[in-house]
Amino acid sequence: MKFRTALAMTAVAGVLAVSSVAQAQDMKFWRIGTGGAGGTYYPIGGLIANAISNPPGSRPCDKGGSCGVPGLVAIAVSTNASVANANAIQAGQLDAGLAGAQTVVQAYKGEGKFVGNKKDKIRAIANLYPEDMHLVSPKGQTLSGLKDLNGKNVGVAAAGSGTQVSVKMILENYSIKADEQELGLGQSAQRLADGQLDAFFYAGGTPFAALIQLGSTKGFELYKFTETEQTEINKIIPYYVPSLIPAGTYETITYDVPTVAVNGQLVTSADQPADLIYDITKALWNKNTRKLLDKGHSKGKAIQLETALKGVLVPVHPGAEKFYKEAGLIK
């Protein structure tokens, strides 16, 4: 399984500056699976990696240094997102990963795409933020309904992504026969701009860098899901609930966009040591991390301790559970 390591952390630069062999031996690398570079998992994963890292030789937290786990170097890794991350965590190829709630539950229970291949090592660390479904079409080509996708070239997200699983369920429910293209967000945006796609789906935390770039060049439209469609999608995919992408989220989208959203979560493996996950969870909710999340990405502000267990339907890792008990979130 190939991953591309994110340039996520100033912490790594600090590691390279450490000359002591003894310090290097105390260093522990920790891999966090994210998503494509043009999406939201990738930068959010990088922020989390920065927050929980504290390489050997770093200044102490109380002296203005990192407030992460001593000796830990977390690395955000670009992957095909939710499904790929769940598979890799189970196989021990990743230490943690970001994934949509639907994928997390189905992976753990062996449902949907995971029938006969359950990922029973999956454990939750935290709920993060809502991921809005985007249905993107070329500038000036507004869809009047989902049925307009019949017979069209439609991007259904990358293979191995939770978005693709959900999109295929939506298309099947509405009996839509489209020429489905398995593409990441960056590829989808490029092909839409080149006229090779009629529309594409992608779910994630707004705004997407790839769509900001598309908006500044060719422009695009976002489909406004009807209330009936929101209700219907919630019935077939209970993890998706009604949501709204406000006007101005993307500079060229001057109208509110009703849609559906699923929560993104940070998960790990049951094989990870309880004391390490406790320290990681504690670092994630450190007040210094709050500043990093708030300034690092618009979706960072939605990552709040108060909602850390919202929609978590798989077992919480014992290390994280210990922290949440201390914080009063678990009785």
What percent of the chain has a predicted confidence (pLDDT) above 70?
Answer: 92
pTM, 2 dp: 0.85
The whole-number pLDDT of residue 62 equals 86
Residue ranges of the chain that CATH labels 3.40.190.10: 4-129+263-326, 132-262
What single-letter amino acid sits at 243?
A: S
CA distance 304 to 291: 12
Say whether pLDDT at 132 is over 70: yes
- What is the architecture, at CATH level 2, of domain 132-262? 3-Layer(aba) Sandwich (3.40)
What single-letter amino acid sits at 242?
A: P
Say whether pLDDT at 37 is over 90: no
Q: Using 50, 70 and 90 to split pLDDT, how confident is the model at 26?
A: confident
Per-residue pLDDT, averaged over 118-122, amounts to 98
The whole-number pLDDT of residue 76 equals 98
The whole-number pLDDT of residue 66 equals 86
Query: Could you tell me if 258 and 244 are in contact, meaning their C-beta atoms sit under 8 angstroms apart?
Result: yes
HEC assignment per residue over 228-240: HHHHHHHHHCCCC
Q: What would the two tokens of residue 246 be?
A: 């406000």
Query: Could you tell me if 278 and 320 are in contact, meaning their C-beta atoms sit under 8 angstroms apart?
Result: yes
Q: What would the two tokens of residue 123 be?
A: 């454990």
Say whether pLDDT at 19 is over 60: no
What percent of the chain has a predicted confidence (pLDDT) above 90?
Answer: 86
Lowest-confidence region among 1-10, 65-74, 199-208: 1-10
Lowest-confidence region among 7-21, 51-65, 288-302: 7-21
Segment 253-310, tens digit of pLDDT? 999 999 999 999 999 999 999 999 999 999 999 999 999 999 999 999 999 999 999 9
Mean pLDDT (the chain) is: 92
Question: What does residue 21 show for φ and ψ, rounded to 5 degrees?
Answer: -65, -40
Say whether pLDDT at 7 is over 50: no
The whole-number pLDDT of residue 126 equals 98
Segment 139-158, tens digit of pLDDT? 999 999 999 999 999 999 99
Task: Cite the DSSP H helix spans in 194-317.
Answer: 209-217, 227-236, 274-284, 287-296
b/e 290-310 (16+ beta carbons within 10 angstroms → b): bebbeebbebbebbeeebbbe
159 SS3 class? coil
The whole-number pLDDT of residue 47 equals 97
Per-residue pLDDT, averaged over 135-140, amounts to 98
Q: Using 50, 70 and 90 to split pLDDT, how confident is the model at 64?
A: confident
Say whether pLDDT at 88 is over 60: yes
The whole-number pLDDT of residue 4 equals 52
Say whether pLDDT at 15 is over 70: no
Q: Using 50, 70 and 90 to split pLDDT, how confident is the model at 12?
A: very low
Query: Could you tell me if 250 and 219 are in contact, meaning their C-beta atoms sit under 8 angstroms apart?
Result: no
HEC assignment per residue over 91-121: HCCCCEEEEEHHHHHHHHHCCHHHCCCCCCC
The whole-number pLDDT of residue 6 equals 45
Which CATH class for the 4-129+263-326 domain? alpha beta
